[in-house]
Chains A and B, each alone.
Chain A
Amino acid sequence: MFWQQFTNWISLGAMYAMLAIGYTMVYGIIKLINFAHGEIFMCGAFFTWWFMSVFHIPLPVAALLGIMMATGLGIAVERIAYRPLRNAPRFAVVISVLGVSIFLQNMARIIWGAEFQVFEVDFGIPPLILGTVIIPFKKIFIFGTSVICMASLAVFVKKTYLGKAMRATAADWEAAEMMGINVNMVIVLTFAIGSAMAAVAGILFAVNYNSIDPYMGFNAGMKAFAAAVLGGIGNIYGAMLGGLFLGVVEGVGSAYISSMYRDAFAFGLLILALIFRPKGLLGEGKTGE
């Protein structure tokens, strides 16, 4: 029974981790939280659903198109809400991005309706049976996709030239600019990668729960933010660890304490983390200062 549930928690945690990476990457570069991240997650799922249900495009192609559109949206958010305010007080930027988040959420509600939409995917592959534990293929798919995405991101950041530029910009913006790094390009790239990861997470979320709605971005976004803070914001490996940890905590909490307060565990954990260990599990810097 425990291991059966454990597979659920881990696949959920992997989704949170994917989403948390977007928060952490953007934070690492521009030192600001992207409030619209949860909305991009939601839009990624909705675009994919839209291509699938309206144009009857198969999932892999629809997902690819959905991810591309969500990435474009992420870049647009950076262009519209962040870039004009780069030298403005932080307070103004937060309000502006909050405005983007409200805009996207309500736009989605008007376009696609406030109800749940069915996101039915049938892989046609039998579940994996390990002794008494039955693992449905979609859980394996979710976990596998997340691991592949995260691993390739880690390699990208560690090994490639652009990844190096990103790390340099995160470490010291001005010095990076003096070294000839196009900081604007790096910021756009960061938003693009974060948004693409968010869209993948959104699609996986839809595959897992078989339903999507315009408000799904809020809760998932909050939890992923909690995961990012838990892992140490600005640290990609921390976000991965934080996401998995949060998935397990939420699962254990709802299984053994109370399933009604399921969402409250993540938020409670966020507040506790900020009070007692603001730099997170793997964080090196200080948070919120």
Chain B
Amino acid sequence: MNKTRLDDLSGGSQATSGDNFLQQGVMAALAGRLARFSGIGKIALLCVFLMLPLMIQSNYAMRVIIYICLYIVLAMGLNVVMGFTGLLNIGHAAFYATGAYTTAILMKQFGMSFWLTVPAGMTLGVVLGVAIGLPTLRLRDDYLAMVTLGFGQIVYIVANNWMGLTRGPRGIADIPSPFLGWGDWAIPIDSYTAFYYLIFSFVLFTIFACIRVRDSRVGLAWTAIREDEDVAAVMGVNLVLYKTMSFAFSAALGALAGSFFAVFQHFVSPNSFTILESVIIITIPIIGGLGSIPGTIVGAVIMIGLPEIFRAASEYRMVVVGAFMVLMMIFKPEGLFGKKQFQQMYKA
């Protein structure tokens, strides 16, 4: 990567300041441009997305777009743990399932409003995130990956077997649609257009939350942990606290996506939360570039949108993705839009 390795011993940051653009690659620079888009540009883009249901008539296309949005929320949540904090989590579907089942059970059994089940699901997700985060924080990358994989599988097994709560493999059907407003002015959210606006607002909320957290003290602490745990600890970053926070934040976003999934499908069953689901979610930020928000969005479009376009070849999607992951890690470990991390630049 860098030929002047000896110079790095004294001042690593100076070596890169000059050729930043070339070092980070064209795609990353493009992503940077996108992020610094002028205010008017952002508003115009927002208007385009808001008018999308008016322009697209096909229900099928709307459904695909809604799914892309859903996976953006999921992948953003995972991106917090993987991209910002540098911890592997291959069990994100567990949090997704938590949100979906919480909403399904509370709405179906207790007749609660959707808007109350969302924070309830997110809270439960946070509890679960802390429960898995705390005991595994001392583990290194590969161990963490295995444990989260096992954890995701446990949640799936519980959802499949706890007949009293989840009705097992039969799933929970006929989940009612959410309403916006009260009494006589209640608008049911039951059309594709309405669901699109709902998930779009979730996406905006997620992007906003991620950017704000990333730029806060917490986000800086996460970045420090990602770059070098030991140095971060020496600098006074409380590793246990911040890693747990990262897991909790990620879990809350996963549960948010789950709540939407439950009302959108009107049906939840354990089959939606298998390991394959976690694997699909994990590939999105990896393709887009770990830690990059525009990258995650593009990743979701590639992973969810492209297989719909190339319907005939969709069987090969996971094969291509698997091969792509290997090649990406060898040739471009920072992903399509990601910035090179400190580790990647200075270690060998």
Binding site for B on A (CB under 8 A): 32-33, 35, 80-81, 84-85, 87-96, 98-107, 110, 218-219, 222, 225-226, 229, 258, 260-261, 263-264, 266-268, 270-271, 274-275, 278, 287-289
B37 interface hit (Cβ, 8 Å)? no
A237 to B317, CA, bound (A): 40
23 contacts between A and B (CB under 8 A): A33-B143, A33-B145, A84-B330, A87-B347, A88-B348, A89-B347, A91-B88, A95-B286, A96-B329, A96-B330, A99-B322, A99-B324, A100-B326, A102-B321, A106-B322, A107-B319, A261-B157, A267-B153, A270-B147, A274-B139, A274-B143, A288-B138, A288-B143
How far does the alpha carbon of A85 sit from the alpha carbon of B327 in the complex, in Å?
11
Contact A98 B321 (CB under 8 A): no
Answer yes or no: B149 CB below 8 A from chain A CBs. yes
Docked pose: A107 CA to B315 CA in angstroms = 10
Task: Find out whether the CB atom of B142 lies under 8 angstroms from the CB atom of A33.
Answer: yes
Contact A267 B150 (CB under 8 A): yes
Which one of B90, B141, B149, B341 lies within 8 Å of A90 (CB-CB)? B141
A221 to chain B, nearest CB (A): 9
- Contact between A87 and B348 (Cβ–Cβ < 8 Å)? yes
List which B126-167 residues lie within 8 A (CB) of chain A: 135-136, 138-147, 149-151, 153-154, 157-158, 160-161
Q: Which of A89, A94, A219, A263 makes the CB contact (< 8 A) with B344?
A: A89
Q: Which residues of B contact A267 (CB under 8 A)?
A: 150-151, 153-154
Contact A289 B146 (CB under 8 A): no
| Chain A residues within 8 Å of B329, by CB | 85, 88, 92-93, 95-96, 99
B320-342 with Cβ < 8 A to chain A: 321-326, 328-330, 333, 341
Closest Cβ–Cβ distance, residue A76 to chain B (whole Å):
11
Residues of B within 8 A of A102 (CB): 279, 283, 318-319, 321-322, 325
Query: Hey, which chain B residues are within 8 Å of A218, CB to CB?
Result: 275
Complex CA–CA separation, A177 to B348 (angstroms): 19
Are A222 and B319 also in contact (CB < 8 A) when A85-B329, A99-B329 are? no
Asked if A271 and B88 make an inter-chain contact with CB atoms under 8 angstroms apart, the answer reads no
| A249 to B324 CA separation, bound complex (whole angstroms) | 39
Report the separation of the CA atoms of residues A222 and B328 in the bound assembly, to the nearest whole angstrom: 25
A89 contacts B343, CB within 8 Å? yes
Q: Contacts of A289 on B, CB cut-off 8 Å?
A: 138, 140
Which of A90, A98, A100 is within 8 Å of B140, CB to CB?
Answer: A90
Please tell me if the beta carbons of A274 and B141 are within 8 angstroms of each other in the complex: no
* CB atoms of A88 and B145 under 8 A apart: no
B86 is an interface residue with CB less than 8 A from chain A: yes
User: Contacts of B324 on A, CB cut-off 8 Å?
Assistant: 99
When distances are taken between beta carbons in the complex, the residues of chain A under 8 Å from B283 are 102
Closest-by-CB residue of B relative to A218 is: B275
Query: How far, in Å, is A99 (CB) from chain B's closest CB?
Result: 3
- B316 beta carbon closer than 8 Å to chain A: yes
CB distance from A31 to the nearest CB of B (A): 9
Number of A-B contacts (CB under 8 A): 138
Interface residues of B (CB under 8 A from A): 86, 88, 90, 135-136, 138-147, 149-151, 153-154, 157-158, 160-161, 275, 279, 282-283, 286, 315-316, 318-319, 321-326, 328-330, 333, 341, 343-344, 347-348
Q: Which chain A residue shows the least CB distance to B329?
A: A96
A274 with B147: CB separation less than 8 A = yes
A96, A99, A222, A287 — most chain B CB neighbours (10 Å): A99
* CB–CB B343/A94 < 8 A: no
Contact B154 A110 (CB under 8 A): no
**For the complex, what is the distance from the CA of A219 to the CA of B152, rounded to whole Å?**
12
Docked complex Cα distance between A105 and B332 (Å): 24
The chain B residue with its CB closest to the CB of A97 is: B326
Most buried by A among B143, B279, B324: B143
Q: Complex: how many Å from CA A24 to CA B275?
A: 24
- Complexed CA–CA distance, A270 and B348 (Å): 34
Do residues B319 and A96 form an inter-chain contact, with CB atoms below 8 A?
A: no
Contact between B136 and A274, CB atoms less than 8 A apart: yes
Taken together as a complex, chains A and B put the C-alpha atoms of A84 and B348 apart, in Å, by: 12
CA distance A125 to B347 in the complex (A): 59
Given A99-B326, A103-B326: A263 and B146 interface contact (C-beta under 8 Å): no
Q: Contact at B161–A261, with CB atoms within 8 Å?
A: yes
Residues from chain B with a CB closer than 8 A to the CB of A261 are 157-158, 161
> Is the beta-carbon distance between B135 and A274 smaller than 8 angstroms?
yes
Distance of A91 Cα from B279 Cα, bound (Å): 16
CA separation between A81 and B150, bound complex, in Å?
A: 23
Residues of chain B within 8 A (CB-CB) of A35 are 142, 145
CB distance from A261 to the nearest CB of B (A): 6
Chain A residues whose C-beta falls within 8 Å of the C-beta of B157 in the assembled complex: 260-261, 263-264
Given A84-B330, A89-B347, A96-B330, output 8 extra A-B contacts at Cβ < 8 Å: A89-B343, A99-B322, A99-B323, A103-B322, A105-B322, A106-B316, A261-B157, A270-B147
- Would you call B142 and A94 a contact (CB within 8 A)? yes
Complex Cα–Cα for A105 and B323 (A): 12
- Give the chain A neighbours of B86 by CB distance below 8 A: 91
Residues of A within 8 A of B286 (CB): 95
B147 touches A271 (CB 8 A): yes
A263 to B, closest residue via Cβ: B157
Question: Shortest 3 CB-CB distances between A and B: which pairs?
Answer: A99-B325, A103-B322, A102-B322
Question: With a CB–CB cut-off of 8 A, which chain A residues contact B343?
Answer: 89
Known contacts being A87-B348, A88-B329, A88-B333, is A222 close to B322, with CB within 8 Å?
no
The minimal Cβ–Cβ distance linking A45 to chain B, given in whole angstroms, is 19
In the bound assembly, the distance between CA atoms of A13 and B339 in angstroms comes to 46
Given A85-B330, A92-B333, also A32-B142 (CB < 8 A): yes
Q: Which of B147, B161, B321 is close to A99, meaning CB atoms less than 8 Å apart?
A: B321
